């Protein structure tokens, strides 16, 4: 540990004390967190943030899925790197503050935090514009609805009137020696409630009965986001960037259930329950980043990051019959924090037609988590009698640790057409045993076949290959909760698991990726293929909560293979006023795993081990079209042969073998740009819909539909 600290301090001191005068930006690399790679040698899919601004969503994964892996891209299968910082939540940032969203198709995703089946997504945030100052206002409101086709034996139950809102204002100003900017936004999302319903039943031995289900307050969140940043050149060889984000979120839900019956008497209450939940969450993220050009070809990036999350949930559950009632009060407190020091040093040396790039990344991280759950239950015979009994249970857990990682790597590049990069990740954390302090390798290779042979700039045919081994480096993701349902335990997995961190399992996790891409006419027409194979061991275990009821699962020896084929057409009809960008992709997954289900309480039954195999696939299409002042977008999402192995029924969990096919018109919008006097940067109004059509039986986790209008004004 002492040796690690000495190396870290030495490199940081060099970065801060250098007085050489060279360009500061490092625009040729992708910063994936622990490893940087040349952009032209990484197979990626990149979306502009402005192509997502007309879409209503509270979780970014719901907006980018049609561009990446379709139904297999959701909030449980992604790991984000925001401006080079691993495991941050981009939902703390408004989409208007995001410049680019990039999917990395390389095995080094495993090295940079995308463990298990997770996909690595890079987020590049915006820091003002090209002008010296700017002010923008954005707003969107929609009607939200859904159908509950699985919750009523009588058929679909329509939802009541609900609304979605997203409003934001941002501004920036450039001064002589620095730029400052910020934004403030409010998002209101809702899970539409069923309309108050009355269902009549007939019992032979008890006459007629009726059930009423009323939602007093539908599930909803109010998310308030604040962001500020400062960009400042320090002398001529350093650029400092300070980012600060603060999110305050409130959640609420309240419903009641009444069961009446009559046996030759007036209708009287037979059973009643009410369920009320309230939650509040605060998220703080601070990041300081210093980019330095120390000498010709020598570039250094130093960063300090602090993140903290505090979530509190209160639940009041009352159930009763004619003779009395039970009252259950649950409180949950969930805290977490990260403090990360990181330094990345890279040197580029030209040797004839070759370029050699040695690099090293040093990471020192302190993490902590604290979880408290308390449940109090009391029973009353009636309102005039005292409490019959009182029960109380507590569950507390905490995690604290220090993690030290050293990641050296070396790249060889030939004429910008061939690259091979390899390295090691060494975990020097003090809490690990000597047996686990092993270096895990990674290697990646890329070749542009056409460039090597003919130097034709209009055609690029690249071949990709990469392999990595790694373990879970405890990224401690601090994520905001939302109303997007978590996928069932089939594929994709909810990867908020803790790894089986034992020596005998240490060598098993690996990631192999192969790919090929063909680009014509300066990357305007692209066809690509990507293959990925993974093997890992995982444990999913969520403690009891006042917000949701969950169960622990253990997944052993999981193997998956993914095939993805895509085609992109960009800047079509550039000679006219018409522009059209389109992206089509198909993802196929073969998944094998052995699953243990050990529920805490499922009708006093424990379910055993099952060997499962799944082969779903998803086809998507994304389109962006403009004609003069009009803009248009259309996204399609499909999922076929997806096998749902779990289905929750009343008071118990059962396994079913169900295959569903889904076709959804995921996003549709139409906008018009206005030329308004006094608004030099113009304005836009648009109408947008999400999930406007969806076939009857769907395996999508979020079947909500939105229909609304919005505006954007730039000053």
- The contacts of residue 188 (CB under 8 Å, 6+ apart) are 163, 164, 165, 166, 220, 221, 222, 223
User: Helix (H, G, I), strand (E, B), or coil: what is residue 516?
Assistant: strand
Alpha-carbon torsion 105, 108, 112, 114, what sign? positive
- pLDDT exceeds cutoff 50 at 654: no
pLDDT at 292 > cutoff 80 = yes
Model pLDDT for residues 328-379, shown as the tens digit of each residue: 889 999 999 999 999 999 999 999 999 999 999 999 999 998 989 888 888 7
**Over the range 84-117, which residues count as b (16 or more CB within 10 Å of their CB) and which as e?**
bbbbbbbbbbbbbbbeebbbbbbbbbbbbbbbbb
Buried residues in 215-254 as b, exposed as e (16+ CB within 10 A): beebbbbbbebebebbbeeeeebbbbbbbbbbbebebbbb
Q: What is the C-alpha to C-alpha distance for residues 483 and 137, in angstroms, rounded to an integer?
A: 26
CA distances from 241 to 11, 43, 81, 179, 238 (A): 19, 28, 16, 10, 10
pLDDT tens sequence across 550-598: 444 444 567 788 999 999 988 776 666 788 899 999 998 887 655 444 4
C-beta of residue 355 within 8 angstroms of C-beta of residue 310:
no
**For 232-241, 292-301, 667-676, 698-707, which range has the lowest pLDDT when averaged over its residues?**
698-707
Cβ atoms of 119 and 73 within 8 Å: the answer is yes
- Tokens read off for 584: 């089509």
Q: Between the CA of residue 524 and those of 30, 67, 456, 518, 572, what are the distances in Å?
A: 21, 16, 15, 11, 8
pLDDT given for residue 131 in this prediction: 84
Above 50 in pLDDT, residue 515?
A: yes
Which among 280, 332, 334, 312 is positioned nearest to 478, based on CA atoms? 334
Contact between 438 and 405 under an 8 Å Cβ cutoff? The reply is: no
Confidence category of residue 613, pLDDT binned at 50, 70, 90: low
pLDDT at 599: 36
- Global pTM reads 0.86
Residue 72 scores a pLDDT above 50: yes
**Residue 410: pLDDT over 50:** yes
Q: Are 514 and 528 in contact (CB under 8 A)?
A: no
Q: Which of 287, 359, 290, 242 has its CA nearest to residue 17?
A: 290
Q: With H, G, I as helix, E, B as strand and everything else as coil, classify residue 96.
A: helix
* Cα(198)–Cα(213) distance, integer angstroms: 7
At 387, the pLDDT band (50, 70, 90 cuts) reads low
Joined tokens for residue 532? 């990925």
Q: What pLDDT is stored for residue 147 in this prediction?
A: 60
Contacts of 2 (CB under 8 A, 6+ apart): none
Q: What is the rounded average pLDDT for all residues in the chain? A: 79
Q: What is the pLDDT of residue 211?
A: 64
Q: What is the pLDDT of residue 323?
A: 60
- In terms of Cβ atoms closer than 10 Å to its own Cβ (0-12, 13-18, 19+), residue 667 is buried
Give me 153's structure tokens: 């034996």
Distance CA 646, CA 597 (A): 11
Q: Between residues 149 and 364, which one has the greater pLDDT?
A: 364
Q: What is the pLDDT of residues 159-171, one digit of tens each?
A: 667 899 999 999 9
pLDDT in tens, 180-216: 999 999 999 998 876 655 444 444 444 455 666 777 8
182/135 Cα distance (integer angstroms): 10
Residue-wise pLDDT tens digits, 255-265:
887 766 555 44
């Amino acid at each position: 540990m002492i040796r690690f600290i000495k190396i870290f301090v030495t490199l940081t001191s060099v970065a801060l004390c250098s007085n050489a005068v060279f360009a500061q930006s490092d625009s040729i690399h992708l910063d994936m967190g622990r490893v940087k790679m040349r952009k032209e040698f990484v197979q990626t899919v990149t979306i502009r943030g402005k192509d997502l601004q007309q879409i209503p969503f509270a979780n970014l994964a719901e907006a980018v899925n049609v561009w990446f892996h379709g139904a297999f891209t959701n909030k449980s299968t992604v790991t984000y790197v925001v401006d080079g910082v691993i495991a941050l939540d981009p939902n703390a940032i408004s989409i208007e503050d995001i410049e680019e969203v990039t999917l990395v198709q390389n095995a080094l995703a495993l090295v940079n935090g995308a463990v298990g089946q997770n996909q690595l997504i890079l987020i590049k945030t915006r820091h003002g514009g090209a002008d010296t100052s700017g002010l923008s206002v954005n707003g969107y409101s929609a009607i939200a609805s859904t159908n509950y086709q699985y919750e009523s034996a009588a058929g679909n139950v329509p939802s009541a009137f609900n609304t979605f809102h997203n409003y934001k204002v941002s501004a920036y100003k450039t001064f002589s020696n620095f730029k400052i900017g910020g934004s403030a936004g409010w998002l209101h999302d809702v899970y539409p409630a069923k309309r108050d319903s009355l269902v009549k039943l007939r019992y032979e031995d008890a006459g007629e009965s009726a059930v009423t289900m009323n939602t007093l307050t539908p599930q909803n969140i109010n998310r308030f986001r604040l962001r500020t940043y400062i960009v400042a050149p320090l002398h001529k060889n350093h650029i400092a960037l300070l980012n600060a984000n603060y999110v305050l979120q409130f959640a609420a839900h309240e419903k009641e259930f009444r069961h009446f019956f009559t046996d030759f008497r007036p209708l009287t209450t037979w059973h009643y329950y009410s369920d009320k939940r309230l939650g509040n969450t605060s998220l703080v993220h601070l990041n300081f980043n210093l980019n330095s050009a120390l000498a010709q070809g020598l570039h250094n990036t130093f960063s300090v990051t602090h993140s903290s999350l505090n979530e509190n949930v209160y639940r009041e559950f009352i159930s009763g019959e004619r003779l009395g009632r039970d009252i259950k009060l649950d409180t949950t407190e969930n805290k977490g924090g990260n403090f990360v020091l990181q330094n990345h040093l890279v040197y580029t040396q030209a040797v004839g037609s070759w370029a050699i790039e040695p690099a090293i990344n040093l990471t020192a991280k302190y993490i902590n988590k604290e979880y408290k759950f308390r449940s109090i239950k009391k029973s009353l015979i009636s309102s005039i009698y005292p409490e019959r009994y009182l029960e109380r249970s507590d569950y507390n857990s905490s995690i604290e640790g220090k993690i030290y990682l050293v990641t050296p790597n070396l790249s060889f590049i030939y004429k910008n057409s061939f690259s091979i990069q390899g390295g090691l990740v060494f975990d020097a954390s003090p809490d690990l045993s000597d047996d686990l302090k092993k270096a895990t390798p990674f290697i990646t290779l890329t070749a542009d076949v056409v460039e090597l042979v003919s130097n034709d700039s209009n055609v690029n045919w690249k071949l990709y290959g990469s392999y990595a081994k790694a373990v879970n480096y405890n990224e401690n993701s601090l994520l905001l909760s939302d109303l997007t349902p978590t996928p069932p335990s089939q594929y994709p997995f909810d990867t908020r698991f803790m790894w089986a961190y034992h020596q005998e399992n240490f060598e098993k996790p690996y990631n192999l990726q192969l790919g090929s891409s063909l680009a014509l006419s300066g990357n305007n027409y692209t066809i690509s293929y990507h293959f990925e194979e993974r093997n890992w061991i995982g444990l999913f275990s969520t403690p009891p909560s006042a917000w949701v009821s969950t169960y622990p699962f253990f997944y052993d020896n999981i193997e998956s293979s993914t095939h993805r084929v895509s085609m992109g057409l960009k800047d079509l009809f550039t000679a006219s006023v018409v522009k059209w960008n389109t992206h089509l992709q198909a993802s196929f997954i073969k998944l094998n795993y052995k699953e243990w289900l050990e529920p805490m309480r499922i009708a006093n039954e424990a379910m055993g081990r099952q060997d499962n195999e799944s082969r779903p696939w998803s086809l998507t299409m994304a389109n962006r079209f403009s004609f003069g002042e009009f803009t248009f977008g259309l996204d399609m999402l499909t999922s076929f042969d997806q096998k749902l192995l779990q289905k929750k029924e009343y008071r118990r969990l059962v396994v079913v073998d169900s295959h569903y096919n889904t076709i959804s018109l995921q996003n549709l919008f139409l906008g018009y740009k206005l030329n308004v006097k006094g608004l030099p940067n113009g304005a836009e109004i648009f109408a947008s819909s999400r999930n406007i059509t969806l076939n009857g039986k769907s395996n999508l986790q979020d079947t909500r539909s939105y229909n609304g209008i919005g505006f954007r004004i730039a000053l």
